[in-house]
Amino acid sequence: MNKDAPRWPLPKHDYWSTPFAESLLQHLDLRPGLRILDIASGHGIPAFYLAEQIGPTGEVLAIDMSAGQVARAKAIQGSELPWLQFECMDMRSLRSDLPTFDRITGNLSVMFFRPNRFQTVQGLVEHLAPGGQLVLTFPSYGTFDSLWQSVDQAMAQQGLIKERERFQDYLKERPSAQDGRCWLEQLGLERVGAFEYPLEVKTGAGQEFLYHPLLRGGFLDDVYECFENQFLAEAFMKQISEAIQGFTPLIAQRCVLSGWNKS
């Protein structure tokens, strides 16, 4: 493996993707010449890092469903690392003509395996070469639980019955580390591990919380979606945002799932 300082390191100032990718790399067996499929590749974390480490004798196919993300990744790549290819593809239904890979990685991917997460993992394992390794990360059950408890209590106190029912359904649907371990074991993978590392997400009150780049897109929007009346949602979330002492420190669980195909 390349021992020089990487030219394509994980971005230092990314406080979400990078810590998850660091956990992924901690469990990934990475060597020159590997053929890697990186799913939910976004704009290239950790695809660029992986490509540099495996070198020109290997191959990385990085796939994402969003054409915008793929275009962004290709713009960053320019003519560098020609053994790394970004393609627009849905990881839940991989093209049947895809070959098998020595490694399949997916940073911050499992939450998008809906509606049938097990089936998605099964589809991935079908493209894992004998003796190959699958390593996936996601924020697992328990992530931001202090916030969800505050939201749930406030909904109960304010008699938001329908909204609370939808919110409870959302909470129940989140995958846990244990769910992930079971999928990999049921699919016959070996040396299966599900590891969790806490990650604190810092936020201030009010607008800083409501428009926090990590919280708004993937998490707070899920609470807004529990409301039919978006004016009510705004007012409710404003109250929550002003009472952050009730749910900070805000802790995410970085979960890494790892398993090996039989040789």
Ligand X SMILES: C[S@@+](CC[C@H](N)C(=O)[O-])C[C@H]1O[C@@H](n2cnc3c(N)ncnc32)[C@H](O)[C@@H]1O
Interface with ligand X (CB under 6 A): 17, 21, 40-42, 45, 63-66, 69, 90-92, 107-108, 112
Structure tokens at 197: 């590392």
Minimum gap (Å) between residue 216 Cβ and ligand X: 13
State which residue has the least CB distance to ligand X. Answer: 42
Any bridge partners for residue 134, and if so which? 104, 259
Structure tokens at 53: 């480490």
Q: Which residues of 227-245 are buried (b: 16+ CB within 10 A; e: fewer)?
A: beeeeebeebbeebbeebe
Nearer to ligand X, 137 or 241 (CB): 137
Nearer to ligand X, 41 or 241 (CB): 41
| Nearest C-alpha neighbor of 34 from the set 107, 145, 135 | 135
Nearer to ligand X, 17 or 227 (CB): 17
Minimum gap (Å) between residue 128 Cβ and ligand X: 17
Nearer to ligand X, 41 or 203 (CB): 41
Nearer to ligand X, 138 or 209 (CB): 138
Minimum gap (Å) between residue 66 Cβ and ligand X: 4
| Nearest C-alpha neighbor of 228 from the set 177, 166, 182 | 166
Cβ atoms of residues 202 and 261 within 8 Å: no
Minimum gap (Å) between residue 259 Cβ and ligand X: 19
Minimum gap (Å) between residue 136 Cβ and ligand X: 10
Ramachandran assignment for 160, one of left (phi > 0), alpha (psi -120 to 50 degrees), beta (any other): beta
